[in-house]
Amino acid sequence: MKKYQRYFLAIIPVVMLMTVTPPVLATAVELSVADSIALALQNNHDLKYAKSAREKAYWAMKAARSNKGLSLDFTHTDQRYNTPPAATGTSTYEYTSDFANQVALTLPLYSGGKLENQIKQAKLELTVADLEVEAAKQQLKLTVVSNYLTVLEYRNEVQVNQETVRNYEEHLQLVNDKFGLGLVAKTDVLSSQVDLASAQDNLVKAQNNYTNAVAALNNAMGLPHAAEVTLKDEFTYEKYPKTLAECLQYAGEHRPELVQYEAKIASANYDVDIAKSGRRPAVNLTAEQGWYDSHFVGAKNSNWLLKLTTSINVFDTGLTSANVKQARHNVDMVLDKAEQQRDTILLNVREYYLSMQEAEKRIDSNKVSVNYAAESLMIQKARYEAGIGTNLDLRDAVLSLDSAQKDYIQALYDYNLNKVKLEQAMGLPVQ
């Protein structure tokens, strides 16, 4: 018993050490914008859904083609029945067993255009599904890049807020020193403390915004929300090479949703022809080979049949006419939706292009403002230290630099965000 007690006492420190030792955190993942898009394309559920829908459309097309082809059916029948005396001319019931086998080959020769148009529709639905996959990729790229830019924005804002806090801390130390020497009033100390507290509050908010932005980016990429990521890319500015007219033309020709509507319009017109098939004859060719016998398995006697069947609907109380009118109105509805979608897309292209240009102009002006604000802060620090500047002037200089830096960050963010929105609105393919 003492032996087991010694083992138990020896294990306790190991268990306690394992309990209090924090887990080793995984190394932060370094990601460029291209890396982030690649991860999202691999993991995103919306894209997987679109790909599965595309496969469904592919097999629906296969099924539609099969309806137009040969079909071969085999039927085996076992039956036993009795015949009453009145039918047999005897005084008793007679029991009979029949076993039959039949092979039937059927080929639809003409369906009034119904099967033919259904095959064409299925091909168009596959085209629509392919375009839906491309549209899902473009939307996913927009989501990922937007989230990436948001992380960059808040990361840079955190850095600006940290710098502002340091500036206010240095200023507060300087004010306290002067107050200790009796050179400034207590109000200077208090106002500087308020500025520092406000800057620290802004820093906390920016840090929280950064954490949430990283979680949103991870979610889009299919990573755990709490995964640590390091962004390798920075905000960039390159003048966009296309004019507004070129962007509008490209969107009208390449945006997947617009090409989808072209296929949907054609499919709706096929619906009209399918509805009209109710007025046309249907022709089927059937070849049958059968065997029957009174003993299992029923393979003794043989008979064959070749049959050509033509059928046409003579009267259906207006059903076919109603279906044709429904299909025609559906064509009008699809056309209206297509025009509405086209107008919306071209409007978005225009808005994003002009917003990108507006942000582009702010980039240059805000960059100049940052330089002026940084120089002004240096001058005001020197003036205050020399005793010829006021506390308010120095505090305003710190605030002006903070504001100018954030305006510059915002301009870069707006430019890059509107650029990626523009490219999605144009329908640029995802590489």
- Rounded mean pLDDT of 33-44? 93
Residue 114's nearest CA partner among 277, 325, 322 is 277
* Cβ proximity of 131 and 54 under 8 Å: no
Residue at 86 is within a domain? no
Residue at 263 is within a domain? yes
* Cβ proximity of 254 and 426 under 8 Å: yes
* Cβ proximity of 398 and 164 under 8 Å: yes
* Cβ proximity of 111 and 277 under 8 Å: yes
Residue at 296 is within a domain? no
pLDDT score of 323 more than 90:
yes
| Distance in angstroms (rounded) separating the CA atoms of residues 306 and 284 | 11
* Cβ proximity of 202 and 160 under 8 Å: no
Whole domain around residue 261: which residue ranges?
27-76+94-282+316-426
Six token digits for residue 399? 């605030």
Q: 139: pLDDT confidence band, cut at 50, 70 and 90?
A: very high
Six token digits for residue 411? 């301009």
Q: 122: pLDDT confidence band, cut at 50, 70 and 90?
A: very high
| Distance in angstroms (rounded) separating the CA atoms of residues 104 and 76 | 12
The CA-based dihedral angle spanning residues 105, 109, 111, 115, taken in that order and rounded to the nearest 10 degrees? 70
Would you mind telling me the total number of residues written for the chain in this entry?
431
Residue at 13 is within a domain? no
* Cβ proximity of 55 and 125 under 8 Å: no
3-state SS class at 74: strand
- Tell me what pLDDT residue 17 has: 35
- Rounded mean pLDDT of 2-31? 47
Residues 361-373: tens digit of each pLDDT: 999 999 999 999 9
- Rounded mean pLDDT of 221-243? 92
pLDDT score of 360 more than 90:
yes
pLDDT score of 27 more than 50:
yes
pLDDT score of 22 more than 50:
no
Number of structural domains found in the chain: 1
- Strand 229-231 vs strand 29-31: parallel, antiparallel, or unpaired? parallel
Contacts of 126 (CB under 8 A, 6+ apart): 54, 57, 58, 60, 61
- Tell me what pLDDT residue 368 has: 94
- Strand 282-293 vs strand 229-231: parallel, antiparallel, or unpaired? unpaired
Residue 191's nearest CA partner among 387, 379, 405, 399 is 399
Six token digits for residue 57? 């459309």
- Tokens 């605030």 — which residue? 399
pLDDT score of 201 more than 50:
yes
| Distance in angstroms (rounded) separating the CA atoms of residues 248 and 126 | 27
Instruction: Give the domain CATH number at 377.
Output: 1.20.1600.10
Q: What's phi and psi for 77, nearest 5 deg? A: -125, 130
Contacts of 128 (CB under 8 A, 6+ apart): 57, 260, 263, 264, 267
| SS3 track for 263-285 | HHHHHHHHHHHHHHHHHCCEEEE
Which range, of 89-103, 148-162, 339-353, averages the lowest pLDDT? 89-103
| Distance in angstroms (rounded) separating the CA atoms of residues 141 and 145 | 6
Residue at 12 is within a domain? no
Residue at 45 is within a domain? yes
Residues 292-315: tens digit of each pLDDT: 998 888 888 899 999 999 999 898
* Cβ proximity of 302 and 290 under 8 Å: yes
Helices H / strands E in the chain, number of each: 10, 6
Query: How many angstroms separate the first and last alpha carbons of the chain?
Result: 70
pTM for this predicted structure: 0.81
Residue at 310 is within a domain? no
Residue at 300 is within a domain? no
* Cβ proximity of 419 and 239 under 8 Å: no
Question: Over pLDDT 90: what percentage of the chain?
Answer: 76
* Cβ proximity of 349 and 424 under 8 Å: no
